[in-house]
């Protein structure tokens, strides 16, 4: 079974901006049930359907399939839950790992999250100096949860 082992962090400063290249994404969810989600994403001219399972110790099953970009756009425009997640993703290599920094737009503007995928759940990593608080276990920061509870509506908003 394919798995994703991922840790999430808030970003404390703009030190990452000098070395990142960004791709704009639109993504939406066909399902956000507890323990599973079905996501559609369009970015860089590609469409992707992703099915994710329950997170346990920063690990979850993940199945990802390319789909025609036209189909992905139709799903986003007609079937996905609202609001659609809009973000620019920057990728930065640091100490042998690839970090993905998501800068959200729209109803989640102001939120910046850094994610890193690992080989093992207990893998030791050296954090870049622009990394802030870890939020791996805080479901508020899951993209699927940002639909029902957008960042701009939080009373205790913080992005690092």
141 labelled catalytic: no
Task: Say how far apart CA 89 and CA 39 lie, in whole Å.
Answer: 16
Task: Say how far apart CA 115 and CA 62 lie, in whole Å.
Answer: 16
In angstroms, the Cα distances linking 120 to 3, 57, 58, 60, 91 are 10, 10, 10, 12, 20
Task: Say how far apart CA 28 and CA 147 lie, in whole Å.
Answer: 9
Q: Choose the catalytic residue: 29, 90, 141, 142.
A: 29
- DSSP 3-state of 82: coil
Which residues are known catalytic residues? 29
């Amino acid at each position: 079974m394919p798995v994703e082992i991922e840790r999430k962090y808030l970003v404390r400063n703009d030190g990452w901006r000098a070395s990142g290249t960004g791709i704009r994404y639109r993504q939406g969810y066909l399902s956000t049930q507890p323990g599973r989600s079905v996501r559609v994403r369009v970015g860089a001219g590609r469409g992707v359907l992703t099915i994710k399972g329950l997170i346990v110790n920063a690990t979850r099953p993940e199945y990802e399939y390319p789909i025609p970009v036209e189909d992905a756009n139709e799903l986003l425009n007609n079937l996905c839950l609202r609001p659609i997640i809009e973000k620019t993703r920057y990728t930065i290599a640091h100490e042998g790992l690839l970090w993905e920094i998501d800068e959200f737009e729209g109803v989640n503007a102001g939120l910046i999250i850094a994610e890193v995928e690992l080989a093992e759940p207990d893998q030791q990593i050296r954090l870049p100096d622009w990394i802030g608080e870890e939020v791996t276990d805080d479901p508020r920061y899951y993209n699927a949860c940002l639909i029902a509870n957008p960042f701009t509506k939080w009373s205790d908003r913080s992005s690092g």
